[in-house]
Amino acid sequence: MDIPVSEFLGFLNLNWQIVVMLAVGGLLIYLGTAKNVEPVILIPIGTGILLANIPLSGLVDEGGLFAVLNKAGIKTELFPLLIFIGIGAMIDFGPFLERPYTILLGAAAQFGIFGTFFLAYMLGDGWLHIMNFSLNDAASIGIIGSADGPTSIYVSSVLGSKYAAAIVVAAYSYMALVPIIQPPIMRWMTTKEERRLEMPITVGLVTRKTKIIFPIATVLIVGLIAPKATPLIGCLMFGNVLRECGVVERLSATAQNELTNIVTILLGLTVGGMMIASEFLNPETILIFVMGVVAFALDTAAGVFLGKIMYLISGKKVNPLIGAAGISAFPMSARVVQKMGLQENPHNHLLMHAVGANTAGQIASVVAGGAMLMLIPLFS
Amino acid sequence: MLDALWIVLLGMAIVFAVLGILLGMMILLNKLSKPNKTD
C-alpha cells in the first residue's frame, strides 16, 4: 500500500519560509515575555504566527479557527471597533480638555500618515513601480503613522489591502519602539533652550459636565464632517461616555477589562494567523516595515515643528517637545517627552501637557483614518 | 502623482478643519462650564 505520508506528517512539509515564520513567531513571544515589549498584543500575535504556520494544521483553511475569526472579526471590522470601546473607557480626556490648544499638535502629527502614503504610492503604482503598491495599499501603509493598532486594522481592512497583517504588526511593533525612534528627532529639531522651557502645571480645571458633553459633541462634529470616521470615533467616544457619565461603572469596568481583554486575545491570534509564510515573506513586507519607521519619524517631526511655531507665537510659553506627543502612541510618547524634559531641566514636568497632546493625537489619528477612507475612493 | 498630492493636501486640510472646529467647541465648553469648589 502506498501511504502519502507527506499529507499527514507536518514536518515533511517544512520549507525555509515556514521555518523563518516560526522563528518570527517565537521572537515575538520572546520579546513579549522576556523583554516586556507590548506583551498583551505580541504574545497572542506570536502564538497566532506559530499556529498558522504549522503545516497541515488546517487553522487557516476554510472553516479553520483563524479563517473563521478573520471573517468574523477583521473583514467585518468588528474587532478593532470593539477594542476602541475599551480604549475610550480607559482614556481620561481631562488633561487634553484643560489644554485645548494641544489638539493642533495632534493634527500636525498626522502628517506621517499622509507623507508615508505619498512615499509608498510613489514607490508603487504612482511613479516608480518598484513595489506592488496600489493606491489602497499605499493608504493602508500610511496609516501605520496613526500609531494606533485598531485604526491600522480598521483602515487597511476597509481598503482591502493585501498587506494588512504586515501593516498591523508594524504599527504595534513601532509603538513599542517609540522611546527609540522619537528622541533623536526631538533632539535634532530643538535647541537646548527650547527643551529646557518649563510649563506651568494645572490640574482639575475641567468639570464633569464638560467631560460628558465633549465625547458626544465630538462624535457629532467628526461624524458630520468626516462620516467615514464615525464607526471609530463613535466607539471610542461611547467607551468614554461609559467612563465619564458615572452611572454605569459596571459597563465601564467591563469595557476596560473583560471586553478589551477578550477582543485583544482574538485580535492578536487572528492577526498572527494572517501571517502565513507564502504570503508574508516578500520584499514588500520588508519595505512596509521601513515605511513604518518613516511614518513615525514624520509624525514626530511634524508635531515638533508645530510645537516650535507655537513656541514662537506664544512668546516662548510652549515647550516644542510636547509636539512629539501628538503622535497617538499612548502613553509612550508622553513619557518620552517627560523624560527628555527632565533630562534637560530637573524642574521641567511636561507630562500633563504631553498627555494632552497624546490624547489629541488619538482623536486626530481617527479623523485622519476617516479622511483617508473618504479620499481614496474619490481618486481610485 | 498629482492625485496622491491632492490626497495629502485634502487629508491634512480635513484633519485640521475637523480638529479646528473641535478646538472651538472645547474652548466654548470650558467657558460655559467653569469649575467650582464641588467640582
Residue A38 pLDDT grade (very low, low, confident, very high; cuts 50, 70, 90):
confident
Residue A10 pLDDT grade (very low, low, confident, very high; cuts 50, 70, 90):
confident
Question: What is the pLDDT averaged over residues A59-67?
Answer: 93
**Best to test chain B binding among A128, A222, A375 (most B CBs inside 10 Å):** A375
**pLDDT at position A149 over 90:** no
Quote the ipTM score.
Answer: 0.92
Residue A197 pLDDT grade (very low, low, confident, very high; cuts 50, 70, 90):
very high
Q: ∠ at Cα A273 (A271, A275), nearest 5°? A: 80
The answer to whether A212 contacts chain B (CB < 8 Å) is no
Cell of A260: 478589551
Residue A353 pLDDT grade (very low, low, confident, very high; cuts 50, 70, 90):
very high
pLDDT given at position A176: 74
The answer to whether A220 contacts chain B (CB < 8 Å) is no
CA A211 to chain centre: 24
Q: Where are the domains of chain A?
A: 93-246+281-379
Closest CA to A284 of A128, A82, A74, A133: A133
Instruction: Write down how long chain A is.
Output: 380
Cell of A288: 512596509
The answer to whether B16 contacts chain A (CB < 8 Å) is yes
The answer to whether B28 contacts chain A (CB < 8 Å) is no
Question: pLDDT tens digits, residue range A260-292?
Answer: 999 999 999 998 998 899 888 888 888 999 999
**pLDDT at position A1 over 70:** no
Count Cβ atoms below 10 Å from residue A9 Cβ, excluding itself: 11
**Chain B residues whose beta carbon lies within 8 Å of the beta carbon of residue A128:** none
pTM of the entire predicted model: 0.91
pLDDT given at position A332: 86
Question: What is the pLDDT averaged over residues A54-69?
Answer: 93
Residue of A nearest to B1 (CA): A126
The number of C-beta contacts closer than 8 angstroms across A and B is 113
Pairwise CA distance, residues A60 & A253, whole Å: 34
The answer to whether B31 contacts chain A (CB < 8 Å) is no
Q: DSSP characters for chain B? A: -HHHHHHHHHHHHHHHHHHHHHHHHHHHHHHHS---TT-
Burial A147-174 (b: 16+ CB within 10 A, else e): bbbbbbbbbbbbbebebbbbbbbbbbbb
pLDDT given at position B36: 64
**Chain A residues whose beta carbon lies within 8 Å of the beta carbon of residue B5:** 118
The answer to whether A204 contacts chain B (CB < 8 Å) is yes
φ/ψ of A198, rounded to 5, equals -85, 145
Cβ of A208 and B39 within 8 Å?
Answer: yes
Whether A38 contacts A176, CB under 8 Å: yes
Question: What is the pLDDT averaged over residues A157-177?
Answer: 85
Pairwise CA distance, residues A320 & A353, whole Å: 11
**Best to test chain B binding among A96, A118, A365 (most B CBs inside 10 Å):** A118
DSSP state of A155: H
**pLDDT at position B34 over 80:** no
Residue A378 distance to chain B (closest CA, Å): 9
Question: pLDDT tens digits, residue range B12-26?
Answer: 999 999 999 999 999
Q: DSSP characters for A103-143? A: HHHHHHTTHHHHHHHHHHHHHTTTTT-SS---HHHHHHHHG
Question: pLDDT tens digits, residue range A80-118?
Answer: 999 999 999 999 999 899 999 999 999 999 999 999 999
pLDDT given at position B38: 53
Q: What percent of chain A has pLDDT over 90?
A: 74
Q: Rounded mean pLDDT of chain A?
A: 92
CA A201 to chain centre: 28
Residue A204 pLDDT grade (very low, low, confident, very high; cuts 50, 70, 90):
low
